[in-house]
Amino acid sequence: MKSLYNYAFFDEGSKREIRRAILKSVCIPGYQTPFASREMPIARGWGTGGLQITLSLIGRADTLKVIDQGADESVNAVSIKKLVRSTTGVTTTDRTAEATLIQSRHRIPEAPLREDQVLVLQVPIPEPLRAIEPSELATKRLHAEADYTGAWLMLFEELQRYGAYTTGSDHPVLVGGRYVMAPSPIPRFDNPKMDHSRALILLGAGREKKIYAVPPFTRVASLAFGDRPFRVEGFEGKACRLCGATGVFLDELPQDGGALYQCNDTGYCLERLNAGTPHA
Amino acid sequence: MAYVAVKGGTRAIEASLLLWRRERKAQAGRPAALIDQVMAEASLYAPDIAELAVAQADGSPEEAVFLLRAFRSTVPRLHTTRVIDPSDLWVERRISAAFKDIPGGQLLGATSDYSHRLIEFDDERFNEVEAQLAALARNLGPQDGAGTYPKVVDYLRQLDLLPTLLLDTSAPGDVTKKSLEFPAKRSERLQILARGQTGTVTALGYASLRGYGALHPTVGELRVGRLPVTVADPLSDGDPEDDHFLGEIRVTEVEMLVPVELPRGEGRTDLQFDLGYGLCYGRNETKAIAMALLDQVLSAAAEGQGPGGPLADEEFVLLHVDSVEATGFISHLKLPHYVTFQSKLESVRASRKSP
Amino acid sequence: MAAFDRVHDVQLAFRGLLRAFTFPGTLVDLAATAERLGSLLPPTPAPAGLLLAAATLIDNETTYWSDQAEVTRFLTEWSASAPSPASASAFLVVATFDDARLAGVLERARTGTLIDPHLGATVLVGVDELDTGSPVTLTGPGLEHPLTCHLPSGERWLAARNARVSEFPLGLDLAFFDARGRVLALPRTTQTRGGT
């Protein structure tokens, strides 16, 4: 059955079309390049945008890491790795440093990335203005005119109503001073990692048929008002119960009589444990 | 089976039901209607592979469509067929709700339309079918009725009740090769509706009928039959004689007549008919009718006409009828959302703490 | 020598191109892959790397133009599709560098629209050698620090290019390919200082 499929699943024409969109995305940072978006063996909304990018990039020399909400062993990460491995035979890894390609859903790894790595993020809703404008034609026009008053108004209303930014994940960013972009639902904690990232970041939205990019060394600023600075999720006074890490994004584990915390990035946590630095 | 709607109707219906039973028997449990639906929603005419997909999906249409679409992504697209003229349709069934006696006559074919929906707990009655059909065949040849027919809409054009339009020979868009941009071309709208999820297209078509679109539409003609598919020889100079015949596709085609007002100036209006078009792979009459209704509403809206409302918003209709997209995104809610939820939790706490 | 592999060599070429556009001004080596094109190449002075890039990106679902008949013939066969006018093409393949002619091509090329800036052309240009031209300092996305590199000499093409990328996001994206199988890219975001 396997031999019926081409290397990296797609026929070559499908890959070429995705590759052309990737190149244009790199040349226009933060702009959502439309692409045909072929159907995949995994469901729309389960990472097909990221997966299409990964499959059109990947070659024999690559080592792939896939994480889902921080975890290498999450059901969907395992499923995506299995599909890529079975159609390409590439090596997969949990170690961020070993990977040439990293596909991720909703996290940027804690370990710093390098110029020779590419981070591929899965995007459910690529349009940062969708919450305020349901029409695709209208949002394309707003981007064309760099009219982002709606995005600012949304943040202003959050401050008015709740006294704080309540965007949660997917807090909008301004890329290269031109395009307002949805960073995908990464926590606000990860937004600063996009700014002048050393690795190319490619974002793929399969269902919405858009690819966009943050090239390395590109200014990425989280939208915020001057007197109400952008704030990442705080885990003050908390540390990972396993490896003792602080200053990382922590998962909250509800317990009787209070919560426990541990690293959300399981690969990072495991490497610290193996290096013998628990409870630092 | 050619019949006039007043006289001989009972016999025609009886014969149609017999044919329908015989087709079911010949299918021997093969879910033919489901296979047709899956091929249409997958945009891939491949009955054998669709049957495999349906079996692998335990009969779930959304799963089977998903399988077939993923397979479609791996198939190189090497040629574009010659333009297929639906008036070449080899008709197995054609009906008109507009005229009793249409040129060429009505042809019921095999249909369950007039059957009573009673579960048949035994299939004994199958055995009677052959005997009854044999008796019928003594009067009618087995191929009697099938063939090509003049179109009802051409008759209306002759009567000047439908506008005669210039043939649009521009190449159609292909939404599977390029993501849809708005405003969409009509070819793109039709393509999206043709591959739309049957239930969704039906629901939106129903909404248009109930009060959000074309009121009082009429089935001008509904046809089921087979169309030949050919490609030009890449080395020939374009002579149709050199074309390669690839096979036939079975389709359902619907032309809906919708009365519309035509401003005549000085506050007066004329009434005219507008046409809605539906066509999908296989036999799926409800979907083809619903598609034709939506085509008319969207085409009118594109020209700034019609009643407005949600169905006139092409982004609303076209972006939400796809099976793979809708089922995929809804099912992704089952995936872990630990990080996004944690982030939201933190925002909720922050908003409570803020003065 | 191994034959050209239409799956794996095209993948390698694409990654090289992606690297070049990601890090503007950086020389990326495509020589080993370009060499394998070997017997598939038409008799043309255009560098093999240029044709490799064109074959990697062009097929019958996009549009292309070339200034050279042999290159056009190669691409027509490769993509099974006819060329388009320069002003309507997504890819412009310029076989050999000439300052004035390249300036003319750049002046005609598409730069997209504010709604669809990705419709700006990709211009692929063959040159003799990539590290002998005039020194130009580059800044912009993909560049950690200002980078001084050598671009083909000539005042007209660079002026034409800079004029056509001056209204970001409108613009065109350029890549140069030399006879030693190397590529250097200038996406529309890259700003230049100096040069002749």
Give the DSSP letter string of A83-147.
Answer: HHHHHH--EE-S-GGG-SEEEEES---SSPP-TT-EEEEE-S---TTTTT---HHHHHHHHHTT-
Report the alpha-carbon distance of residue B353 to residue B150 in Å, rounded: 75
Find the closest chain B residue to A10 by CA distance.
B74
> Is the Cβ of A13 closer than 8 Å to some Cβ of chain C?
yes
Tell me which chain A residues have a C-beta less than 8 angstroms from the C-beta of B339: 69-70, 106-107, 169, 185-187, 249, 251, 264
Region B89-93 average pLDDT: 94
In whole angstroms, what separates CA C118 from the centre of its chain?
16
Identify the pLDDT of residue B338: 87
Given an 8 Å threshold on Cβ–Cβ distance, is A145 in contact with C57?
no
pTM of the model: 0.87
Tokens describing residue A34? 């439309």
Continuous segment of H or E residues that includes residue B18: helix B9-27
Interface of A with B in 141-200 (CB under 8 A): 162-170, 185-189
pLDDT at residue number B133:
73
pLDDT band at B3 (very low <50, low <70, confident <90, very high): very low
Q: Is the pLDDT of residue B306 over 90?
A: no
Which of B184-198, B260-274, B306-320 is the most confident on average?
Answer: B184-198
Name the β-bridge partners of C94: C125
- For range B289-304, the mean pLDDT: 95
Cα distances (angstroms) measured from residue B57 to each of A75, B71, B258: 21, 14, 39
Contact of B334 with chain A, judged by CB distance below 8 Å, is answered with no
Identify the three-state secondary structure at position B12.
helix
- A-chain CB neighbours of B336 within 8 Å are 68-69, 71, 74-76
The pLDDT value given to residue A261: 94
Residues of A (93-152) whose Cβ lies below 8 Å from B:
105-107, 124, 134-137
Confidence of residue C142 (pLDDT cuts 50, 70, 90): very high
Is the model's pLDDT at A181 over the cut of 90?
A: yes
Residues 126-145 of B with CB under 8 A from A: none
Residue C14, pLDDT above cutoff 90? yes
DSSP state of B272: E
Q: How far is A60 from chain B (nearest CA, A)?
A: 20
Write the pLDDT tens digit of every residue in C66-111: 999 999 999 999 998 899 999 999 999 999 999 999 999 999 999 9
CA atoms within 13 A on the CB side of B96: 23
> How many angstroms separate the CA of residue B36 from the nearest CA in chain C?
29
What pLDDT, on the 0 to 100 scale, is given for residue B144? Answer: 62
Q: Is the pLDDT of residue A11 over 50?
A: yes
A70 — contact with chain B (CB < 8 Å)? yes
pLDDT(A79) > 50: yes
* Of A11, A41, A136, Cβ closest to residue B70: A41
B72 confidence band (pLDDT: 50, 70, 90): very high
Q: Is the confidence at residue A199, as pLDDT, over 70?
A: yes
pLDDT category of residue A1 using cuts at 50, 70 and 90: very low
d(CA A66, CA A43) in angstroms, rounded, equals 17
Identity of the residue in A11, A35, A170 whose CB atom sits nearest the CB atom of B74: A11
Name residue, tokens 């090289």.
C16
pLDDT bucket at A280, cuts 50 / 70 / 90:
very low
Set of chain A residues whose Cβ sits within 8 Å of the Cβ of C143: 217
A243 is catalytic: yes
pLDDT in tens, B151-208: 999 888 888 888 888 888 898 999 999 899 999 999 999 999 999 999 999 999 999 9
Task: Give the Cα separation of A150 and A129 in Å (integer).
Answer: 7
**Residue C38: its pLDDT value, please?**
84
Best of C14, C78, C165 to mutate (most A CBs within 10 Å, chain A): C14
* Average pLDDT of chain B, as a whole number: 88
Check CB contact under 8 Å for A115 and C187.
no
Distance from CA of A91 to the nearest CA of B (A): 23
Which one of B177, B181, B234 has the shortest CB-CB distance to C61? B177
A223-272 pLDDT, tens digit each: 999 999 999 998 999 999 999 999 999 999 888 878 899 999 999 999 99
pLDDT score recorded for residue B5: 45
**Residue to substitute from C6, C10, C61, C79, interface B, most B β-carbons within 10 A:** C61
Check if B62 contacts A (Cβ < 8 Å): no
How close is the nearest chain B Cα to the Cα of C61, in Å?
Answer: 8
B8 pLDDT tier (thresholds 50, 70, 90): low
pLDDT of residue B141: 55
Whether residue A30 lies in the annotated active site: yes
**A40 SS3 class:** coil
Q: Which of A30, A47, A50, A70 is catalytic?
A: A30
Q: Which subunits sit against B, judged by 3+ Cβ pairs under 8 A?
A: A, C
Instruction: Give tens-digit pLDDT for A133-157.
Output: 989 999 999 999 999 999 999 999 9
Distance of CA A95 to the CA centre of its chain: 17
Measured between beta carbons, which residues in chain A are less than 8 angstroms from residue B75? 11
Which residue on chain A is closest to C188 by alpha carbon? A27
A88 and chain C in contact, CB less than 8 A: no
Asked if the C-beta of B79 comes within 8 angstroms of chain A's C-beta atoms, the answer is no
Query: How far is the C-alpha of A1 from the C-alpha of B186, rounded, in Å?
Result: 39
Question: B with C: how many residue pairs have Cβ under 8 Å apart?
Answer: 3
* For range C150-166, the mean pLDDT: 95
Q: How much is the pLDDT for B1?
A: 43
pLDDT above 60 (res A278): no
CA distance B164 to B158: 9
**Whether C56 contacts C10, CB under 8 Å:** yes
Tell me the nearest-neighbour CA distance from C24 into chain A, angstroms: 10
Q: Is any Cβ of chain C less than 8 angstroms from the Cβ of A221?
A: no
ipTM of the complex: 0.97
Given a cut of 60, is residue B12 above it in pLDDT?
A: yes
- Rounded to the nearest angstrom, the minimum Cα separation between A54 and chain C is 12
Query: pLDDT at residue B325 above 80?
Result: yes
**pLDDT of B23 strictly over 90:** no
